[in-house]
Amino acid sequence: MFDNPMALLVGVVGWLVAALVAYVFVAFAGFAGIGVIGLLICFISLRIELESGGVVGTVSSPDSFRRQIERQQEMSRAERAARRHEQSLTARSVRFFLNLGIALALIGFGGFIYDQL
């Protein structure tokens, strides 16, 4: 399944570090920490959705858009189909994480308000 065990090790260590940071953040901030993590996930998901398939960066010029459109028009049917398939997979993943972020934000901030009452 995994061709490179070193890449798997780096991925696992990265997830462990991220989980540790999230745990420490939630331990200090409680329910509000869960809400902030949910908002962060929502922000990242929306940013990925906005930048998918387009010019990425802070400076967008008409020349960048023109080159992008020209490249898309030069693609073969198979390349366009592969690109659409990749964009659909990305959209499904982004939608899942956006829903997860919304749920975490609602649970976190709802729990914080409930805890304050």
Q: What is the pLDDT of residues 44-73, one digit of tens each?
A: 888 888 877 666 655 666 777 777 777 777
Q: Where are the alpha helices (DSSP H) in 75-116?
A: 77-116
Contacts of 52 (CB under 8 A, 6+ apart): 87, 90, 91, 94
User: Quick one: average pLDDT of 9-17?
Assistant: 86
Contacts of 33 (CB under 8 A, 6+ apart): 25, 26, 27, 108
Greatest extent of the chain over all pairs of C-alpha atoms, in Å: 61
Average pLDDT over the chain reads: 82
Is pTM, for the whole model, over 0.85?
A: no
Determine the pLDDT at residue 54. 64
**Pair of tokens at residue 1:** 């399944």
Determine the pLDDT at residue 22. 82
CB atoms within 10 A of CB 103: 13
